[in-house]
Amino acid sequence: MSQTSSTAPSSNDDTVSAPRFLASDNTSGICPEALEYLHRANEVDDLAYGNDRWTAEASDAFRDLFETDCEVFFVFNGTAANSLVLASLCQSYHSVICHQLAHIETDECGGPEFFSNGSKLLTVPGDGGRVPPEGIETTVTKRGDIHYPRPRVVSLTQATEVGTVYDLEQLRAIREVADRYDLRVHMDGARFANACASLDVSPAELTWRAGVDVLCFSGTKNGLAFGEAVIFFDKRLAEDFEYRCKQAGQLASKMRYLAAPWLGLLETGAWLSNAQHANAMARRLADGVTDLPGVNLMFDAQANSVFLELSAATQNALRARQWTFYTFIGEGGVRFVCSWNTSAELIDSLIDDIRQAVAVA
């Protein structure tokens, strides 16, 4: 896999002059495979609004990847993908069951409610950022009268907001409850590739074969400049979806520039190798700090995020050494996210800096 080197000054070096980015997987640039296909798409002109050869080929590549005749749409970002999908699955009086830490609940500025004209999100708690089947059942059966917004969808984030994954058994258990109550299953796949890499299962196994009806598959966090693919496994649910995209300002007139980089990820296999690399870097970090005193790994680092409990003094020491990270995501703690171009040297210098910071704290 091609790697661009991130600057990773050694921790003995007192003057760290540039920020070191592990705040999210969207701090990384465009991976070479995506860029290469973007250039190729720029060699000749083509039709607009998705009637071009790149969009057709990328859509077919998704059908190959998922081993089924799915409906594929390309939008600019994850908020739009999630919001428009939920809007298309719900009437305004319906509700969506999701984890209380779900991005659709905490980070989309009410987008799902806005685009669905008021469908309500009903949140449930659950260990490791996962929606438990019992939580779905309790939420659905709590009320059956017309005064309660009728549950229609279960939304799952894969990998979860805290860097864990739903395995096949957990997904099947959720599908079973969903079938009992006639619920659709939506998957927010902001880190879907990382989940496939983590579990070493095929995209088909992890979606429609496990009962997922619609997937929002993020390209941005996997190595594109921007772009998410919305994949409907049940084609009937995709009816009129293109109108929603257009109305919401999500129909790219030069759609080939969204689609071609996706084709680059899919044809070269970079979608998976990028995720495997990111996961390996997260594991390296988690393994490197678990034995340090005063450092607590908050969740099993199954994908590309690592959540650490660190003292305020340690956090300040890391900030002083120009490490960038967020502390407001999930259940708090310090989140580091690895991506396609996170280098082992960068991770090792972070481990060194954490070791030094906790030693003096």
Given a contact cutoff of 8 angstroms between Cβ atoms, the answer to whether 303 and 191 are in contact is yes
Residue 123 binding ligand PLP, by CB under 6 A: no
Residue 161 binding ligand PLP, by CB under 6 A: yes
Applying CB under 6 A, which part among 54-62, 77-85, 254-262, 308-316 lies near ligand PLP?
Answer: 77-85
Structure tokens belonging to residue 251: 């129909």
Burial of 78 by CB count in 10 Å (0-12 exposed, 13-18 middle, 19+ buried)? buried
Among 32, 50, 78, 288, binds ligand PLP (CB under 6 A): 78
Residue 105 binding ligand PLP, by CB under 6 A: no
Applying CB under 6 A, which part among 29-37, 76-84, 168-176, 293-301 lies near ligand PLP?
Answer: 76-84
Among 77, 123, 194, 305, binds ligand PLP (CB under 6 A): 77
Residue 237: what are its φ and ψ, rounded to 5°? Answer: -70, -15
Angle 354-360-361 from CA coordinates, rounded to 5°:
80
Residue 103 binding ligand PLP, by CB under 6 A: yes
DSSP class per residue in 181-197: TT-EEEEEETTHHHHHH
Residue 112 binding ligand PLP, by CB under 6 A: no
DSSP class per residue in 290-324: TTSTT-EE-S---SSEEEEE--HHHHHHHHHTTEE
Residue in the block written with tokens 């296999």: 269
Q: For residue 301, which amino acid is it?
A: A
Applying CB under 6 A, which part among 72-80, 114-122, 138-146, 263-271 lies near ligand PLP?
Answer: 72-80
Residue 79 binding ligand PLP, by CB under 6 A: yes
Residue 59 binding ligand PLP, by CB under 6 A: no
Residue 155 binding ligand PLP, by CB under 6 A: no
Site for ligand PLP in 311-330 (CB under 6 A): none
Give 236 or 328: the residue with its C-beta nearer to ligand PLP.
Answer: 328
In 3D, which of 97, 65, 129 has the Cα closest to residue 262?
Answer: 65
Residue 194 binding ligand PLP, by CB under 6 A: no
Structure tokens belonging to residue 22: 């592990």
In 3D, which of 257, 276, 275, 339 has the Cα closest to residue 58?
Answer: 257
Among 188, 219, 323, 330, binds ligand PLP (CB under 6 A): 188
Among 6, 11, 116, 157, binds ligand PLP (CB under 6 A): 157
Burial of 51 by CB count in 10 Å (0-12 exposed, 13-18 middle, 19+ buried)? exposed
Residues that bind ligand PLP (CB under 6 A): 77-79, 103, 157, 161, 188, 190, 220-221
